[in-house]
Amino acid sequence: MGILDTGIRNAKNVRNYMFGPGSIQSLPKLLQAPRQNRDQRVGFFIDEFFKNNASILNNLAIESGDHVVFVPTEKEPTTDQIDSYLSAIREKNLNISAIVGMGGGITLDVAKAVANLLTNPGKAADYQGWDLVKNPAVYKIGIPTISGTGAEATRTCVMTNTKTGVKLGMNSDFTVYDQIILDSDLTSTVSRDQYFWTGMDTYVHCIEALAGSYRNAIGDAFSREAVNLCQQVFLSEDMMTSEAREKLMVASYLGGCAIATSYVGVVHPFSAGLSVVLGLHHCVSNCIVMRAVEEFYPEPYAEFWKMVEKQNIHIPEGVCRGLKDEEFDRLYASTIVHEKPLTNALGPNFGKILTREKVKETFLKM
């Protein structure tokens, strides 16, 4: 009998989720099973933002012997960085039975990568790509502390290859969290700009997905509701009420679910260009790119700037002014390389629309 490959993706869900203010207090209960044997230890990867926040750290029920890492978030993670986290665990000869990642997209991704490498030999770089991870990861729990990247729901963990400079994730079903805790109390201390920029990551990738040619009813449903929630949050008087933060946390999760069966469009490739060449973080880059994409996304463009105004948010401007030709060449190259999203948005002849000159003009609008 022939085994057909239908080309239809087999989307992987997070196994369990808890939702609601205060849900982080369930963490000790969730860790009871992985702590069953006396030698079992939990590895905590926590955004450095919480390093001195005792009231948050106390909820985690960290035990002596556990392995705790405060993850720096100034730069996006590298493969060498992941490898060094692994070495530290191996040197201590720890029996890690669970990994807890708590933070934004960077920290959640770091925790995913470490959990994969604990059960798979070799280095982080060996698994950058699609479905290269061979063994199930260590049981892992994700706790987002800012909403929008969707890292809590996706099957990738993005990192920059230290040698090649290429930014690529370990795309694998094993990368998906077993358990996530969606506690919107944790997002109350985020700065307003950061809250907006990050929240907009889900808005942007969902409006890109909904405008694309590669569509399906389930991806559309997740994207539509994520956009709906972002509208409720960012067009309201106060985007950071308790209710708004709950909604944005759901939008982020659903946006992450949407990624499983959809593609982004024009914004993300340009945004990647800004990250690679200028070192700008992903979420603020998206917002900067929104300055220049009115012709591709006229209605979301208008809505986005209405939200910016409503919430009185600072979006950096003029970031590409005065760059050299060589830098524009690199911007062009690192944008145009994203064939799948650009094809989704503009068709297979996207290169004829996004000429070198057009791409430079577009970056100059930002």
Q: How far is the CB of 4 from its own copies (least distance, A)?
A: 5
Among 49, 127, 234, 253, the residue binding its own copies under the rule CB under 8 A is: 253
Q: Scan for tokens 């009998």, then name that residue.
A: 1
Q: Is 191 in the site for its own copies (CB under 8 A)?
A: no
Q: Scan for tokens 């890109």, then name that residue.
A: 208
Q: Which is nearer to its own copies, 8 or 54 (CB)?
A: 8
Within residues 255-294, the interface with its own copies by CB under 8 A covers 261
Q: Which is nearer to its own copies, 159 or 230 (CB)?
A: 230
Q: Scan for tokens 């369930």, then name that residue.
A: 26
The C-alpha angle 312, 19, 115, rounded to 5 degrees, equals 95
Among 48, 80, 173, 193, the residue binding its own copies under the rule CB under 8 A is: 173
Q: Is 74 in the site for its own copies (CB under 8 A)?
A: no
Q: Which residues contact 251 (CB under 8 A, 6 or more apart)?
A: 147, 148, 199, 202, 203, 225, 226, 227, 229, 230, 233
Within residues 4-63, the interface with its own copies by CB under 8 A covers 4-6, 8-20, 22-23, 25-26, 28-30, 32, 61
Q: Which is nearer to its own copies, 64 or 93 (CB)?
A: 64
Q: What are the angstrom distances between the C-alpha of 287 and each of 188, 193, 200, 294, 317?
A: 21, 11, 7, 13, 10
Contact 246, 182 (CB under 8 A): no
Q: Which is nearer to its own copies, 25 or 236 (CB)?
A: 25
Contact 288, 315 (CB under 8 A): yes
Give the CA-trace dihedral at 53, 58, 63, 68, to 10 degrees.
-30
Q: How far is the CB of 5 from its own copies (least distance, A)?
A: 7
Q: Which is nearer to its own copies, 243 or 295 (CB)?
A: 243
Q: How far is the CB of 222 from its own copies (least distance, A)?
A: 8
Q: Is 3 in the site for its own copies (CB under 8 A)?
A: yes
Q: Which is nearer to its own copies, 116 or 275 (CB)?
A: 116
Among 87, 182, 351, 358, the residue binding its own copies under the rule CB under 8 A is: 182
Name beta bridge partners: 169: 158
Q: Scan for tokens 């907006």, then name that residue.
A: 196
Q: How far is the CB of 159 from its own copies (least distance, A)?
A: 25
β-pairing, 167-171 with 158-160? antiparallel
- Site string (211-250) toward its own copies, x via CB under 8 A: -----xxx--xx-xx--xx-------------x--xx-xx
Name beta bridge partners: 159: 168
Q: Scan for tokens 């926040």, then name that residue.
A: 53
Report which DSSP code applies to 46. Answer: E
Q: Which is nearer to its own copies, 15 or 192 (CB)?
A: 15
Q: How many residues bind its own copies (CB under 8 A)?
A: 47
Q: How far is the CB of 3 from its own copies (least distance, A)?
A: 5
- How far apart are alpha carbons 97 and 76 in whole angstroms? 26
Reduce the DSSP state of residue 300 to 3 states and report it. helix
- How far apart are alpha carbons 187 and 249 in whole angstroms? 9
Q: How far is the CB of 246 from its own copies (least distance, A)?
A: 4
Q: How far is the CB of 60 from its own copies (least distance, A)?
A: 11
The C-alpha angle 124, 92, 94, rounded to 5 degrees, equals 80
Question: Residues in the site for its own copies, rule: CB under 8 A?
Answer: 1, 3-6, 8-20, 22-23, 25-26, 28-30, 32, 61, 173, 179, 182, 216-218, 221-222, 224-225, 228-229, 243, 246-247, 249-250, 253-254, 261
